[in-house]
Structure 1
Amino acid sequence: MPALPEVIQTAAPLLLAHVIADFLLQSDRMIERKTRPATLALHAGLVLLTAALLLAPTTQEGTIALAILTVTHAAIDRIKLHFGDTLRPYLIDQAAHLLTIAAIALVTPTLWSDSLWTALTETSPLTTAMLWLAGFIAAVTAGGHAVAKLMAPYHAFWTRRRILGGGLKDAGKMIGQLERGLTYLLVLAGLPSGVAFLIAAKSILRFNATKDDRHVAEYVIIGTLASIGWALLTALCVTALTASLEIAAANP
């Protein structure tokens, strides 16, 4: 059984590569056109490029692992196209990508120790930083997609009732990103109680908009709890992984 710190160190750059390729480098247009083989191949190429840059393998084993990661990623995305763009397929798709990364790290845990980066710098702070950054992207951007898909079934009703009209363009999206980002950073900073103040502040600011309309109140409650809950879960997972690395570094 491979040592857990080795597995986490190998998984960290692969995880960061995944969230960068899926949520920063993949545009809405690419998502819409992914049924086209050329677009899917372009996305797979971005997955390979980011993983190669962040892992920097120096062995044949590492090259094979990246090839498997790329092909598997493309296959998972291709299968997802048959199930629509709703919350459940989205979550299953992301879970499948994470399981692929975990499997590669478990089977080939020495990929990071054989990486080019290990010869250039102290690797423990680097992998910790990769986990922090991957978690931040997952909390803010991936969480935004998840919450949007959760709330999507109600959009037609809200549009008919004009419940959510009249605000600044994309203000709701930005508010969600800010609350998830702040939640994530507060937990990583060891200040989880600050999340309660964040929820309280949003409740006060939204009070006038929600006090007279139950529909708006329910929308705000569901969206806020889902958004902050996603960020909390992400932060707790990253905290657990980084704690394992710190324990290993302190007890070599």
Structure 2
Amino acid sequence: MNSNLFIIYLIVHIVADFYLQSEKLAIKKKDNFWYLLLHCLYYAIISIMVIIPFWTKAIFFHTIGLIFSHLIIDIIKYFVSKRLKKSKIENKKLSWIFICDQIAHIVSIIIIVILYSNNNADIYEWMLLWNQGSISNDILRYALITVLIFKPTNICFREVFLHIKPENKEEEKEKNNIGQLIGNLERLLILILLSLNQFTAIGLVFTAKSITRYDKITKEKEFAEYYLLGTLYSVIATLLLYIFIIGVTEVKVS
């Protein structure tokens, strides 16, 4: 399988489906079909823009396939969500829709890359402004893990553990923003330490983070449990992404 193209398509999906999709659009497309089509239009534009440096006729047509597969999966998700909402299903069960949706997108990417790989060579060079240059698989892998550990990781945690989140309080939105920023920096620091093989130094990250919340952790059991869950999730997510993206993909998939 073409490992470079697989990583490029994953980056396309993450950027278009997470970073360039506002909270407002994400909410509205759940109830309004036209907003869903607008999201898919953004996805198509980003997909074409990202593959420009690697432009070939084969990659273009397979990217069109990627865009249409994303559209079909999102349409299926739209109607399934509509039906489940009418049944007043619990948030805990609704989170599975998000998980299945992302799995379906990844599977579709794998299928498209396999179809490309059957008739085309792997991507080792990029073409931009008629100049050829080498493309590093290491750069692509670190780019992929970097875009994954920020917004996608935050959204996954929110969607999966929404049903056990403590009661909202005043200024919750501002606190959540700060919490997400701290989590992002925490995962980035862990990634840097892993890259430098400084595994023992990762423990210092938790120590510094716990000191700032010590008073609230000792007084509010519900917050302490949710805080511990978020911290463990953040660490495990970064470690697993590092192992599978940086570790496993170092061996080129044939």
TM-score bracket, shorter-length normalisation: 0.7 to 0.9
Aligned to 2:43: 47
Is the contact between residue 126 and residue 134 of structure 2 (CA under 8 Å) also seen in structure 1?
Answer: no
- Distance change in 2, residues 1:182/1:61 (3 Å): same
- Distance change in 2, residues 1:92/1:64 (3 Å): same
Matched, 1:158 2:158: no
Matched, 1:138 2:148: yes
Matched, 1:69 2:66: yes
* Cα deviations by residue, 1:73-120 (Å, 9 ceiling, x for unpaired): 112122223237743222221122111212222221236358635952
Which residue of the other structure, out of 220, 223, 234, is the alignment partner of 2:227? 220
Distance 1:165 1:75 in 2: 36
Aligned to 1:121: 133
Q: Aligned partner of 1:53: which letter?
A: M
Is the contact between residue 125 and residue 134 of structure 2 (CA under 8 Å) also seen in structure 1?
Answer: no
Q: Aligned partner of 2:4: which letter?
A: Q
Partner secondary structure for residue 190 of structure 1: coil
Unaligned runs of 5+ in 1: none
* Cα deviations by residue, 1:154-177 (Å, 9 ceiling, x for unpaired): 34x523xx5996984622222222
Aligned-pair CA distance for 1:186: 2.5
Name the Cα RMSD after superposition: 3.0
Partner secondary structure for residue 198 of structure 2: coil
* Structure (1/2) with the larger helix percentage: 1
- Distance change in 2, residues 1:166/1:135 (3 Å): closer
Worse-superposed segment, 25-34 or 193-202: 193-202
Aligned to 1:191: 198
Is the contact between residue 184 and residue 235 of structure 1 (CA under 8 Å) also seen in structure 2?
Answer: yes
Q: Structure 1 vs Structure 2: percent identity of aligned residues?
A: 20
Aligned-pair CA distance for 1:21: 0.5
Aligned to 2:103: 95
- Distance change in 2, residues 1:79/1:192 (3 Å): farther
Partner secondary structure for residue 108 of structure 1: helix
- Distance change in 2, residues 1:40/1:196 (3 Å): same
Partner secondary structure for residue 158 of structure 1: coil
Partner secondary structure for residue 128 of structure 1: helix
- Distance change in 2, residues 1:218/1:65 (3 Å): same
Distance 1:121 1:184 in 2: 28
Aligned to 1:29: 24
Count of residue pairs brought into register by the alignment: 237
- Distance change in 2, residues 1:243/1:68 (3 Å): same
Q: Aligned partner of 2:70: which letter?
A: H
Is the contact between residue 13 and residue 51 of structure 1 (CA under 8 Å) also seen in structure 2?
Answer: no
Partner secondary structure for residue 146 of structure 1: helix
Aligned-pair CA distance for 1:65: 0.9
Matched, 1:20 2:15: yes
Aligned to 1:173: 180
Is the contact between residue 125 and residue 133 of structure 2 (CA under 8 Å) also seen in structure 1?
Answer: no
Unaligned runs of 5+ in 2: 86-90
TM-score by length of 1: 0.80
Q: Aligned partner of 2:107: which letter?
A: L
Aligned to 1:112: 123
Distance 2:203 2:33 in 1: 46
